[in-house]
Amino acid sequence: MKYKSLSEFIKRIIILIAGLTIAHLGVTLFLLSSLGSDPFNVLIQGISNMTPLSHGTCHQIVCFLIIGILLLVDRSYIKTGTFICMFLGGPIIDLFTIVLDNLVSGSSPIVLRSVCLVLGCFILAFGMTIVIKSNAGTGPNDLVGVVISDKLKISFGICRVVADFSFVIIGILLGGIFGVGTLVCAFLIGPIANRLLPVSEKIINKILKIK
């Protein structure tokens, strides 16, 4: 996508960062509920389990591998925001973890943990749709569902569910750990995001004054 001006590009980057922050608030709530890793990280756990590499190193390698494949398939998906998502995601989660650490933990009542899990999924889905519709770039793991949806002309919700369950299955086969939260996340994120995509697009168009 070509931007009309530098001003529009900067606004879209700011919108992307706002969406990324919202999404990772959801990720933090999900993680603090201690009911299972998200699907992509089950895959990363499995790869890390099969290699001498740390979880963080495996995460970066897989992300760069996805970017590398997309550069060969369709480089139009790789934008500035893709790298912003890669490098800001971790620090944002760390910050929210410090702020919310006293709110919920693995020792909290299961009802509170369950609420945080579901709420985290909704917040994550909303933030993710803002990032996607910012048209400034999307994180590598989210791009998998986006690209499949675009190329096969299939609903993003369905593609996201398939991608998430593929991550989970491969991760489990490699020794990754999953929980009930993993399955809840895999079932919820895609359908919720699919419903919120047009809502987020309207919000962003209103901010950018696009009719």
The token duo for 140 is 């590598």
Side chain identity at 55, as an amino acid letter? H
Is 51 a domain residue?
Answer: yes
Is 107 a domain residue?
Answer: yes
If one compares 2 and 111, the residue with the highest pLDDT of the two is 111
CB 179 within 8 A of CB 106: no
State the CB neighbour count (10 A cutoff) for residue 91. Answer: 10
Is 1 a domain residue?
Answer: no
Supply φ then ψ for residue 162, to 5 degrees.
Answer: -60, -45
Is 161 a domain residue?
Answer: yes
Number of domains in the chain: 1
What does DSSP assign to residue 136?
S
Is 211 a domain residue?
Answer: no
State the residue range of the domain holding 56. Answer: 8-206
Side chain identity at 89, as an amino acid letter? G
The token duo for 206 is 């209103």
Residue-wise pLDDT tens digits, 33-75: 889 888 988 898 899 889 888 877 888 899 899 999 988 888 8
Side chain identity at 125, as an amino acid letter? A
Residue-wise pLDDT tens digits, 14-30: 999 999 999 999 988 88
Q: What is the C-alpha end-to-end distance of the chain, expressed in Å?
A: 17
Q: What is the pTM (predicted TM-score) of this model? A: 0.88
Is 99 a domain residue?
Answer: yes
Position 47 scores a pLDDT of 92
pLDDT at 160 over 80: yes
CB 43 within 8 A of CB 168: yes
Is 103 a domain residue?
Answer: yes
Is 187 a domain residue?
Answer: yes
Residue-wise pLDDT tens digits, 108-156: 899 999 999 999 999 999 999 999 999 999 988 899 999 999 999 999 9
